[in-house]
Structure 1
Amino acid sequence: MSHSRLVLGAFGLAVAVDLVSLAAGSDAGHAVAKPLLMPLLALWAVLRRAPRPLVAALLFGWGGDVLLLSDAEAAFLAGMGCFAAGHVCYLVLFERYGSRYAVPRARAGLLALGYATALVTTVALLWPDLPADLCLPVTGYSLLLTAMAYRAAIRLGLFTGLGGALFLFSDTLIATGVAGRPQPPGPDFWIMLTYSAAQALLAGGTLGALNARRAPAVTYGEMRAG
């Protein structure tokens, strides 16, 4: 088994331990497993010859993960800053390595409308219940996150687009908790499930798209020889 598969397996195991810990109410298990997720995924990406912006985005995610283990508001703001930096890295990645024709123009327009509607609706609903000093930071972060999710879909296609959408969903769950809005039972479980899947899809979708472009085209002679 290759090193990259071993590391990916370790990432999957860490995700499973984290989710089981959250379901069982084990704060200690969550505190141990959560900080392992993004370093393992980043190492897998490095072994797969990932572009630097992707590795940087995952490592900024690791910084955010560690900071959000604390309930302090200063840690929350710093963690949000780390994730914001990660979204900037993703935007650089999509611009530098994405395709202008990953989705048809009409579908891109519908996606833009959908994401814009989701952004405005979410901010309008949460704004009155957010702490006053978090209103502007959360709004700015939401704008950046929505831009990342949209660009993931239109520049690199289905898997990265789904990753961006799940990232948006996961962070919306966090925001509803901060605003004191109703959440599903066991919100931390669903936050980590969708977040882990989001980062994995963003990384895997990006590498899959890039590897498909790196693969040499099969010539007519090779097809006849096969």
Structure 2
Amino acid sequence: MPGSPLTRALIVLAALAIGASVADVPLVHYVAKPLATVCCIAIALSATPPVSQRYRAGIATGLVLGLAGDILLMLPGPGHFAMGLGAFLAGHLAYLVALTDGARLFARLRPVIGFAIAGGALCVVLLPRVGPSLRLAVAVYAVVLCSMAAQARVRALVVRAPGARLAAAGATLFVVSDAALSINRFVAPIPWSAVAILSTYWMAQWALATSVRASAAAEVA
């Protein structure tokens, strides 16, 4: 199994969480899911040398907020879903701030246009099917998520470092994961949704966490 001990632990815990979700074993899922994200936090905090302390702080903050979102989304009821959405929204804002390290906000137009089109298409599909109380929150979330992904790609084009490309891949996977989650929840069930949503989610978080290391490449943490 490749990677550092933390990456190996993440793979095991993520597999447990996904398997438990598919097999409907809630207790294992509720334990393994947050622990997998804790591994991502540890990867970011232990990576040396960091790109910068500012970048590390932003990515680590986003991961901690993602952990809060993980827990809230496991709880029943629309209120917890809204709070989980808020936690991830704040996390994406933290990522967005981190991703301006070394690259001005939206300094390249093409990624911004591409993700704006993707976000707009997602909103067209989702918003008619979302309840009125969540409609604005979902729209704002889509804007922030796609802005974060666009800036990650901008930074990869400007910085041209392995870690920046890894962060861009992670941010794009986050869009894929959240789009799948939203479609599965509001539009139509996706076959093997837990596998599709959670695997892309942890690949995204792992990539962002690993990008903290200045020399980050595909198998280091």
Is TM-score (shorter-chain normalized) higher than 0.5? yes
Mapped contact 1:173–1:183 kept (Cα < 8 A)? no
Farther-moved stretch of structure 1 (21-30 vs 116-125): 21-30
State which drifts further: 7-16 or 118-127: 7-16
The answer to whether the 8 Å contact 1:17/1:33 transfers is yes
Higher RCO (Cα < 8 Å, 6 or more apart): 2
Distance 1:119 1:6 in 2: 36
Q: Does the alignment pair 1:89 with 2:94?
A: yes
Match of 1:191 among 187, 191, 197: 197
Report Cα offsets for 1:68-93 as digits up to 9, x if no partner. 00131111111111111111111111
* Matches of 1:28 and 1:177, distance apart in 2: 22
Residues 32-63 of structure 1 show CA distances to partners (whole Å, capped at 9, x for unaligned) of 11010221211122111452111111110000
The equivalent of 2:174 in structure 1 is 167
Identify unmatched segments of 5+ residues in structure 1.
213-226
**Which range is displaced more, 188-197 or 20-29?**
20-29
Q: Paired residues, what number?
A: 200
CA distance in 2, matches of 1:65, 1:154: 28
Aligned to 1:215: none
Partner of 1:62: 67
Q: Which runs of 5+ in 2 are unaligned?
A: 51-55, 157-163, 217-221
Partners of 2:84 and 2:46 in 1: how far apart?
Answer: 27
* Larger helix percent: 1
Query: 2: distance between equivalents of 1:178 and 1:9?
Result: 30
Q: Distance in 1 between matches of 2:145 and 2:102?
A: 18
- Counterpart-to-counterpart distance in 1, 2:209 and 2:43: 9
**Mapped contact 1:130–1:178 kept (Cα < 8 A):** no
- Work out the CA distance in 1 between the residues paired with 2:8 and 2:125: 40
Q: Per-residue displacement from partner, 1:145-200 (whole Å, max 9, x unpaired)?
A: 00011111111342211111110111112222332x12321212211111000111
Moved over 6 A (4+): none
Contact 1:37 1:62 in 2 (8 A): no
| Counterpart AA for 1:189 | V
Letter of the 2:28 partner, please give it: G
